[in-house]
Amino acid sequence: MRFLLIEDNAPLASAVVDRLSLDGHVVDHAPDLETARDFSATTAYDMILLDIMLPDGDGSSFLAHHRSRENGAPIIVLTARSEVSDRISLLDQGADDYMVKPIDFAELEARCRAVLRRRDSGPGTGSRTLGTIRFDPASGTLGVGGRDIQLRTRELRLFEILINAPGMIFSKSALVDRLFSYDEDVSENAIEVYVARLRKHLGGSDVAITTVRGLGYKLEQM
């Protein structure tokens, strides 16, 4: 998943980035609203973590603008405001959830998973099945032929993208954009490496990652 973190507190932002990166997520950090608007105008995010009190304005304005564009990326607000009325106002403006600072990182991860589950498939475990395979993003396992394969972080995030949209073609550049942050200097050849690993894991199943010449890759049941 690719996250946009809008937070001006540098130590907190660094801690959030480090924690989410350990799970294989890509996190772009914007310390102010201007940077956040630039990032969101050019990049599709799976999740936005939004501070409200920012050096160049109120994060509520970003929330309102984001929702006016009918952008589907969910937003979790990180706020120091603990009054019930403030939290109700944020939810009414379109926030999907909120957390009051100081933040517990385990709770933040759990809330992110819950919001993404609601967006993707409603209540449930978040597991996916396609043909004879079963994928559980929470545990990072791919079930093939009665065995559970533990995916590495990049493999996990790449397969998560593909199985959430079976049959959809993803270009290498689009996958690089989803899997790596602006700070990482990565070529499109890296995608070929991860695709090769996933194809090996899928051997013996009725699901394959197909190359569409000149366009990219798609996951499909054969």
Distance CA 45, CA 207 (A): 27
Residue 24's pLDDT is what?
76
Q: How distant, in Å, are the alpha carbons of 49, 72, 145 from that of 75? A: 6, 9, 38
The single-letter DSSP state of residue 45 is -
Distance CA 206, CA 133 (A): 8
Contact 17, 29 (CB under 8 A): yes
Residue 10's pLDDT is what?
93
Contact 194, 162 (CB under 8 A): no
**109-131 pLDDT, tens per residue?**
888 888 877 765 544 446 788 99
First to last CA, the chain: 26
* Superfamily of domain 2-120 in the CATH hierarchy: Response regulator (3.40.50.2300)
Provide the pairing of β-strand 147-150 with 141-144.
antiparallel
Q: What is the reported pTM?
A: 0.65
Single-letter amino acid, residue 20: L
Pick out the chain residues at pLDDT < 50.
122-125
Question: In the chain, what are the domain boundaries?
Answer: 2-120, 128-221
Question: ∠ CA(150), CA(155), CA(157), 5° rounding?
Answer: 105
Q: Dihedral of the CA atoms 58, 63, 65, 71 (nearest 10)? A: 160
Distance CA 158, CA 137 (A): 11
**57-96 pLDDT, tens per residue?**
888 888 888 877 665 688 999 988 767 777 788 788 888 8
Residue 164's pLDDT is what?
85
Topology adopted by domain 128-221 = Arc Repressor Mutant, subunit A (1.10.10)
